[in-house]
Structures are given as C-alpha cells and as structure tokens.
Amino acid sequence: MKMTNLYAPTLREVPAEAEVPSHQLMFRAGMIRKAAGGVYSYLPLAWRTLRKIEQIVREEMDAKGGQEIAMPIVQPAEIWQQTGRWDVYGDEMFRLKDRHQRDFCLGPTHEEMVTTLVKQDVRSYRQLPLLVYQIQNKYRDEIRPRFGLMRGREFIMKDLYSFDRDTDGLEISYKKMYDAYSQIFSRCGLEFRPVEADPGAIGGSGTHEFMVIADSGEAAIAYCDGCDFAANVEKAELLSLTSVAEAEKPLEKVATPGQKTINAVAEYLSLSADRLIKSLAFVTEKGPILALVRGDHEVNEIKLANLLNVLQLEMAGEKEIQSLFHSEPGYIGPVGLSNVTIVADASVMNMVNAVCGANAADQHLTNVMPLRDIKPAHVADIRLIREGDPCPRCGAPVKTARGIEVGQVFKLHTKYSQALDATYLDENGQERLMVMGCYGVGVSRTMAAAIEQHHDADGIIWPASIAPYQVVIVPINTKDESQMTMAEQIYRELSAAGVEVVLDDREERSGVKFKDADLIGYPLRITVGPKALKENSVELKVRRTKESLLLPLDGYVEGVIRLLASL
C-alpha cells in the first residue's frame, strides 16, 4: 500500500471526550470515526487489525471443533419472551417494531436464537456435542458508552455456543474454550489473566472472565501470587476475619454530635475504623435492607443482590432512612431494629465491643456485641475484597489490579434449553435437555485493549500478529531518485515475501513521516536515506525498543521476517 493512497487521516488533536489512550490514539491514527455515542466507523487500519483478530479467533475456534455460522441480528421478541429476558434485559436492549407493530430487538447476545435454531435440527445424542459460533456486530444500549471501542453500543463479538449431552460433556467443551481463549489472547500479544467471575444476568453457574491487565480497565481483579486464585472483585469470596480478644462490656449510648461518617466517629471516639460497624440502608423490590460491614470494609453490592436474589438494589435516600429508622443518615444502626431485614457480613459477627449508630441523631452505641445485640436475617460474605486481604484459598495477602474484560466463558447448563424446550433423545430413547455453554470474545474491545497495553507517548506499538501493516518504508526524500528506487525495490521484495508493507511516498518532511509511523505503530520502520544507500543495506528501526539496526541488502528479507516473528 502506498501512503498516498491509504485512507488513514492522521490528526494531531483529539476530541475532549477521548479519555483513554486507545480512544485517543485510534482517533489520531485515522483508525476510527464516531457516528453516534458508542457507534463508530472503522477505517482501513482498524478494519485490517479487526480482521486479524477475527482470524486468530476463527482459527482457534475451528481448532476446537467449532463451526462458523451466521445468525440474524434482528431477532423476534417471542423467543426472548419465552426465556423471560424480554423484560429482564431492560433498557440495554435496542428494540424496534416492524410495519405490523411486531416487536423485535437487535441482538445483544444470541442464546435464545441459537437454542431455537439448534433444537429444530438436533434430535439425537449422536449429533452432540455441537459447537457453533459467529463473529458479528452486537447491540447494547449501554448506560454509559465510553472509552471509544471499549464500551460501544455497536461492537464486534465472537460468540460460540456449546451443546452437550450432559454436564461431563459441558466440562469438556468449557475446558476447550478456556484453552482456546488463552491461545487467542496470547497470540494477540496480550498480557492477560483468566479470573473467576459473577454469572450476572446471563445466568447459569461457573464462569471465567479473561482480563487484559491495564490501568484504564473498568474491572478490578484480585489475585494471589501464593496460589492460582484470581477473581473479579465482584465475585471474590472472602474468609471472615477475627477480631481483638476483649472481655464483653455492657451496651452504652454515647453522644457523637455532628459525627456522621465512619472516619469522623472513629476519630471522635479515638478508635480505629475496624472497631466500628458500618450500616448501609438499601431498598430492593423485596423491601428495605440494612447491610452491615466492618468500618474499614466496603459492601459488595453484587454479592448482596445475589444473596437476597433481588434485581434492584439501591442505596436508600434521606426520606426512606427517616421513615425506616426515625433517624438521619449517619446515625442508623442494627440494634433493636425489627422492621428492616438485617444482613451482616460474617466478619461483623466476630466483632467485640463495637460501635454503631443508635438510630437517634448525634448518638452512637458502644460495646455492641453483635452476637448478643444484633438479630441478622442473614450472615454471609457480603464485602468487597481489598489489597492485602487473606487469599480465600491459601491465606497469603492478595494483590489487586485493573483489568479490561476481553472475553468470558460461561456454563449455562439447562437454563436456555429448559426455557426453550431444546431436547434430544439419548441412547435409551429417553428425552433429555441439552446442556449448554456460551463463550464470548469482544473483538473490537480486544483491539482497544491491545492499544491500552501497548503504547507510549508517541503512539501505538502493535504486536506484530495484529498490526494493520507490519512494516513502513520511509524514503527520507521522495524527490531523490536513487532513494525512491531503493524504497520501491524493498517494497516489492517484502510484499512478494508476504510481508504487509506501507510505502510512505508522501512529499512530506521526514520528521512528519516518522511521527505518523510512530503514531500508527508499525512494528518495524525501514528508513531509506543516504546512509542506507551508502552502506548498501536496509536500515531498520524497531518501534517497541526504538533499537536501530542495519541488515545487508543480501538476505534482508529473511532477516525482516525473522525479526517480525519476535515482535
């Protein structure tokens, strides 16, 4: 490709809304342009990289026996109504009506569609296992589309669905996909971690997310260097912590005028925060909840919602707190409470002579003995893991990091086959439900994640496997005939050897061309100038290391190919 023909309009400025490096750099490198919030056009450089990621995904899916299909993006409401997800999906679903006022949606995912498809044709155990996948646009009307391609409303996903005879079969399919995902993200040149995750709205049980480690990641993960524990913090289980050993004292009410926060009360009473009980009121569709965690801990709302099996869980407002606790926020507490469901974190129940709100303005209770003074409906692990907490497996202090979820594997079991009546006949002619799994890779998000992990102040640094082009040739002076002759020759020879090359034939200053080369992030740059001509060699610069090297013209093609394989 000649740069004068390439549709890659590079820019120096970025729109203010581009907060993260991948968004800024894709915009500046002329890779994407916005059409609407979370909806983008992909220009040639982006599209080439996306196709490479897709190809890696495709090869790994095929290697595990996956068969590529293409299902409709436009999906009828009926199949979603059968599983109950027409309502559950809520505002995130893009809905539309046809001319006859029939309801449809743009597919946010395809469990309903694929189950409806497969059940028509699979009748016998002999046809199982079956693994089908597709790579296509998905549509989700995200509350906060942001970070460019990381959280789009239209984005590219690979989704594979496995159908097995039984859970043993599902375990095998799941393992295949888990391994395939590790291969995919390794081949894309990414540093990643599979972590245990919360099943969320898709349902089922047993799931891992594949996280690309990056500071801009929206997810937080906890992991242990002492063992193989790694989990999304939403899911990470915790051991209950023990408290100080101290003799039990009688409950007492103390004045705490104006002290409304854990830190203020702790300071006022000269105690550390772990001696206080944090009381948080929530409203749910099943009524009000008072959640208790230790003062230095945070509530994990996902664990709490899962425990109570509620869909809505919102912090109570001032009005609700007044009517439930006859007190103002900052002074509420669990002692003597009977009209609100109390959920205590397991560590709270181990506390001794603790402090909590007294349900009266400017007052707290001290010497609270949770086992004696609090009547929780549930005692469970409801807190958020934090750096340094003991690992739930081995007890070593855990570490935390930020991650971008690029893929997720799920054991669905019979959730969808049951709702949609997807059955087969086993060896004995018995009708049985198919056992399913689903497995997604965010293809467009993976491209963004690669940039988040691989960039510097000058631009993108593509791993060679997914670079839009692998090499750029920059003649220093396009008016110099001998330089252009050499540049064209290298261009022809590398292209003939299957290397993807751009020849920057623009009549621009070399500084401008070097800047664009760094911004676009080709793994290798070949400079053709007086030095190369004089030494009769190919002058290379490695984008990642900024290292320069000269290869003799004789045999340089193999040298370039070998170098690319290491990048």
Positions that interact with Mg ion (CB under 5 A): 408
Contact indicator for 473, 528 with CB cutoff of 8 Å: yes
State yes or no: residue 406 binds ligand ATP (CB under 6 A): yes
Taking the complex as a whole, the smallest distance from the CB of residue 556 to Mg ion amounts, in Å, to: 45
Q: Please tell me the distance from the alpha carbon of residue 28 to that of residue 13, in angstroms, as a whole number.
A: 7
Is residue 94 within 8 Å of 141, Cβ to Cβ?
Answer: yes
For tokens 């181990």, what's the residue?
Answer: 350
Q: Which is nearer to Mg ion, 378 or 402 (CB)?
A: 402
- Tokens 């809304």 identify what position? 17
- How far apart CA 216 and CA 194 sit, in angstroms, is 18
Give the containing element (helix H, strand E) for 39.
Answer: strand 39-42
- No. of helices (H) and no. of strands (E), the chain: 16, 31
Judge whether 230 and 219 are in contact, CB under 8 Å: no
Tell me the residue number closest to ligand ATP, measured at CB: 442
| Nearer to ligand ATP (CB atom), residue 140 or residue 235 | 140
Cβ at position 408, least distance to ligand ATP in Å: 4
Q: Which of 409, 339, 405, 341 is nearest to 192 (CA)?
A: 405
DSSP state of 381: -
Q: In the structure encoding, which two tokens stand for residue 267, read together?
A: 């300071």
358: helix, strand or coil: coil
* Among the listed residues 42, 155, 161, 325, the single contact to ligand ATP using CB under 6 A: 155
Taking CB under 6 A as the criterion, the residue among 28, 52, 140, 525 binding ligand ATP is: 140
Regarding 57 and contact with ligand ATP (CB under 6 A), the answer is no
Among 129, 152, 204, 357, binds ligand ATP (CB under 6 A): 152
- Kindly state whether residue 204 participates in binding ligand ATP, applying the rule CB under 6 A: no
Helices (H), 67-126: 77-83, 85-88, 111-121
**Smallest gap from residue 381 Cβ to ligand ATP (A):** 22
Closest to ligand ATP by CB, 406 vs 461, is: 406
- Of 259 and 408, nearer to Mg ion (C-beta) is 408
The token pair at 358 is 């007294």
Is the Cβ of residue 35 or residue 512 nearer to ligand ATP in the bound state?
A: 35
d(CA 372, CA 370): 5
407 interacts with ligand ATP by CB under 6 A: yes
Interaction mask 426-455, ligand ATP, x per CB under 6 A: --------------x-x-xx----------
125 CB-near residues (< 8 Å, 6+ apart): 165, 424, 425, 426, 427
Partner from ligand ATP, Mg ion, none binding residue 563, C-beta < 5-8 Å depending on class: none
**Among ligand ATP, Mg ion, none, what binds residue 170 when CB lies within 5 to 8 Å by partner kind?**
none
CB of 197 to Mg ion, least distance (A): 7
Of residues 70 and 245, the one with the C-beta less far from ligand ATP:
70
Between 133 and 469, CB nearer to ligand ATP: 133
Say which entry of ligand ATP, Mg ion, none residue 354 contacts (CB below 5 to 8 A, set by partner kind): none
Does residue 109 touch ligand ATP according to CB under 6 A? yes
User: DSSP secondary structure string, 530-554?
Assistant: HHHHHHTEEEEEETTT--EEEEEST
Smaller CB distance to ligand ATP: residue 45 or 149?
149
Which positions lie near ligand ATP, rule CB under 6 A? 109, 140, 142, 151-152, 155, 157, 405-408, 440, 442, 444-445
